[in-house]
Amino acid sequence: MTSTLQEGILVGCGNPLLDISASVPMDFLKKYEMKEDDAILAEERHMPIYRELVDGFQAEFLAGGSVQNSLRIAQWILGQPKVAVFFGCVGEDEYADILMEKARSAGLDVHYQIKKDVPTGTCAVLITGTHRSLCANLAAANNFTIDHLDQPLNKTLVENALYYYISGFFLTVNPPSIMQVAATALAKQRPFLMNLSAPFISQFYMAPLLAVMPYVDIIFGNEAEAHAFATAQGWPTEDLREIGKRLVALDKLNPARPRIAILTQGCDPVLLIQRDSVEEFPVTRLAVHEIVDTNGAGDAFVGGFLSQFVQGKSLDVCIRCGNYAAGHIIKNPGCTYTGEPQFVE
Ligand code: AP5
Ligand code: NA
């Protein structure tokens, strides 16, 4: 990074989750009626998963939670602490301590809401070969309330930020908080970025997603998420470019800043959609032996993107850094990194 950035320039809200990650046989997924590339919220019948992973599959504990992942990666690339601020809710337990330590050592300025008597959220990451299936038990993360954002210090942090990023995942927790941050961004004419996060968000949370969409300046998603959005909208197309064009054309409150959609497609090119134009950004394909797991690739992409976006870099540089960051974390377990970032503009 060349110049010093204002502290707290980027604010994010999400679910702080500790990932419990293990390679499992397909039978394990079948037993819980899960698909190999899924992301779901845990129901009662999924609750034994976490214990089973720890007891029977040498599970690894890794800092997770989609937005927190992205902000940690942005911090790693920026190298300057406290550029990014994170809000989310945890319990008062060892898992919260681990999450806090990982986030702080990455340089993230963490302001957790703490809910006593409710455990910190976890996410089972079930790895089968090159696939991963996520099952989030939000627990404390589900208890985030808007009054946390109204605490004087937190209110100041939100008001002083210049960029805002919230996941679609957070729509299952607290839409009023999202709307409040989005309204602040709009009033101050500052970019508000969001992620489609998982197909189930479009399937089951379309109403709050559509309520916030008019505020969204940049929307991220992968192929499956874009298709799920299109299907839920009844759009008669499976063409990702067409879906992107329709996403950017949805109603928007600040027409001076037309919406941008950024759609990733694994090792295929990233699509940048603005108005009627679609640009492609190639991904450097990794050799099979270089891939540890793709868990966190989507989040790392956003983290790399944000690290450049908050420096006012062009979308081209932001996307290339997104691809760089995603490529790096794929070579590491979960959404973790090693060494110093090597991104060259
Ligand atoms: P997330 O970070 O979203 O990652 P993911 O979904 O596991 O990553 P994917 O591999 O699925 O990436 P993608 O499909 O989004 O992107 P794409 O493949 O297009 O999720 C993990 C985290 O989510 C966990 O830590 C968990 O805690 C959290 N989580 C789960 N449920 C949650 C909830 N309810 N609330 C909050 N958090 C929750 O790839 C993106 C980019 O990666 C590409 O553009 C490219 O640059 C690169 N890339 C991908 N594949 C390759 C390849 N083969 N070779 C080279 N580059 C590649
Ligand atoms: Na990884």
Give the residue, by CA position, lying nearest to ligand 1 atom 31.
136
Which residues are within 8 A (CB) of 307 and not within 5 positions of it... i.e. 6 or more apart? 73, 74, 75, 77, 78, 321, 325
- What is the rounded average pLDDT of the residues 25-42? 95
Instruction: Supply the residues annotated as catalytic.
Output: 299
Q: What is the pLDDT of residues 239-298, one digit of tens each?
A: 999 999 999 999 999 999 999 999 999 999 999 999 999 999 999 999 989 988 888 999
Residue 2 pLDDT exceeds 80: no
pLDDT at res. 19: 94
| Cα 25 from chain centroid (whole Å) | 27
Residue 289 exposed, middle or buried by CB count within 10 Å (0-12, 13-18, 19+): exposed
Task: Tell me which ligand sits closest to the C-alpha of residue 21.
Answer: 1
Say which range, 20-24, 151-155, 268-272, 294-298, has the weakest mean pLDDT.
294-298
Q: Which atom of ligand 1 is nearest to the CA of 170?
A: 35
| CA 14 / ligand 2 centre spacing (Å) | 20
| CA 274 / ligand 2 centre spacing (Å) | 30
pLDDT at res. 246: 98
Q: What is the pLDDT of residues 107-150, one digit of tens each?
A: 999 999 999 999 999 999 999 987 899 999 999 999 999 999 99
For the chain, what percent of residues have pLDDT higher than 90? Answer: 92
pLDDT at res. 1: 56
Task: Tell me which ligand sits closest to the C-alpha of residue 19.
Answer: 1
pLDDT at res. 127: 92
Please give the ipTM for the structure prediction. 0.94
The answer to whether 273 and 244 have CB atoms below 8 angstroms apart is yes
| CA 300 / ligand 2 centre spacing (Å) | 9
Is CATH 3.50.50.60 correct for 10-16+65-120+137-330? no
pLDDT at res. 335: 87
- Give the mutation target among 225, 295, 331, 335 for probing the ligand 1 site: most ligand atoms within 8 A of CB: 295
How many Å apart are CA 125 and CA 22, to the nearest integer?
Answer: 6
DSSP-derived pairing of the beta strands 268-274 and 260-265: antiparallel
Segments making up each domain of the chain, as ranges: 10-16+65-120+137-330
Residue 93 pLDDT exceeds 80: yes
